[in-house]
Chains A and B, each alone.
Chain A
């Protein structure tokens, strides 16, 4: 009984504060400001510094939600491989089947986080030059061929050499 009364008074006190002074408010004000100015952006789906620009994701996407755009400044990854394009993702078309993610060679061949993830790609660093020197771990030749056929020609040569 005594506990109950103490509890009620405490509750009344807390709620008075909430009503009059908006204490303990949980609504996110930064988000409110962002929405008011229309600044909510779609989560990042391509990790630029992990992508080798091989076009596999764009080639496999069943609904054409990805297209490759030429980079303004090509990035030299190894001495004989220059990344010239990068994937651009259209969320309106995507159906989140993960085929782009699963066929991205960074994931398919090296088992590292893929450079593309249709949800949110996350923050991670990959040393591509080093990675591309590693031998490819993939037993099944058929599967290897299937994935490699998705890549553009330059990337195909590169990875075939690497394996």
Chain B
């Protein structure tokens, strides 16, 4: 009872950029920092510490260098936790993993985030607008609250 209510009322979100083009990153920062959008009004607070986080927001395709870091950071978050993949890169690897010329698509990309860690919410767009991000984050909070 108290558990669910408290989880619904205080959520910490952590951002990890895994090698996207900055576009998604900036829109996430916009959603957090711009008073016009103001993520905090939905009871979601920004943190940079995985130990404090509940939601891990990942943007960008996972590059080979970022793969171990992403895994470790995911592991450092105590349960219950959710992962939101933001942007088409984080969902399917974006153009880097799907387009290619003579040499095929990029071998520097592991792929979307779900190739590395389990993902609970997908937010499409290149980049998604801040309002898309806000709505998605607001709508996953009940899932978080319902976890064990």
Interface residues of A (CB under 8 A from B): 25-28, 31-32, 34-36, 38, 40, 42-43, 62-63, 91-97, 118-119
Take A27-B38, A95-B98 as given contacts and tell me if A38 and B124 are in contact as well, using a CB distance cutoff of 8 Å: no
Complex contacts, B138 vs chain A, CB 8 Å: 35-36
Complex contacts, B42 vs chain A, CB 8 Å: 35
Cα of A106 to Cα of B131 in the assembled complex, Å: 31
Take A27-B41, A28-B36, A42-B132 as given contacts and tell me if A95 and B99 are in contact as well, using a CB distance cutoff of 8 Å: yes
Complex contacts, A26 vs chain B, CB 8 Å: 35-36
Complex contacts, A92 vs chain B, CB 8 Å: 91, 122, 124
Report the count of interface residues on B (CB-CB < 8 A): 25
13 contacts between A and B (CB under 8 A): A25-B35, A27-B35, A27-B41, A31-B131, A38-B135, A42-B132, A43-B129, A63-B92, A92-B122, A96-B88, A96-B94, A96-B95, A118-B126
Residue of A nearest to B98 (CB): A95
Our pick among B37, B88, B98, B139 for the contact of A38 (Cβ within 8 Å) is B139
Our pick among A27, A40, A94, A95 for the contact of B135 (Cβ within 8 Å) is A40
Chain B 127-148 interface residues, beta-carbon cutoff 8 Å to A? 129, 131-132, 134-135, 138-139
A28–B37 CB distance below 8 A: yes
A32–B135 CB distance below 8 A: no
B78 within 8 A of partner (CB):
no
A95–B35 CB distance below 8 A: no
| CB of A41 to closest CB in B, whole Å | 9
Chain B 34-52 interface residues, beta-carbon cutoff 8 Å to A? 35-38, 41-42
Complex contacts, B68 vs chain A, CB 8 Å: none
Across the A-B interface, how many residue pairs have beta carbons closer than 8 Å?
Answer: 62
Complex contacts, B139 vs chain A, CB 8 Å: 38
By secondary structure, the A interface counts as loop
A96–B129 CB distance below 8 A: no
Take A40-B135, A43-B129, A92-B122 as given contacts and tell me if A97 and B95 are in contact as well, using a CB distance cutoff of 8 Å: yes
Residue among A26, A34, A63, A96 having the largest count of chain B Cβ atoms under 10 Å: A96
| CB of B91 to closest CB in A, whole Å | 7
Take A27-B35, A27-B36 as given contacts and tell me if A95 and B131 are in contact as well, using a CB distance cutoff of 8 Å: no
B125 within 8 A of partner (CB):
yes
B88–A95 CB distance below 8 A: yes
Cα of A56 to Cα of B48 in the assembled complex, Å: 45
Apart from A34-B135, A94-B124, list 19 A-B contacts with CB within 8 A: A26-B35, A27-B37, A27-B38, A31-B37, A31-B134, A35-B42, A35-B134, A40-B131, A40-B132, A63-B92, A63-B98, A91-B124, A92-B91, A93-B92, A95-B88, A95-B92, A95-B94, A95-B98, A96-B95
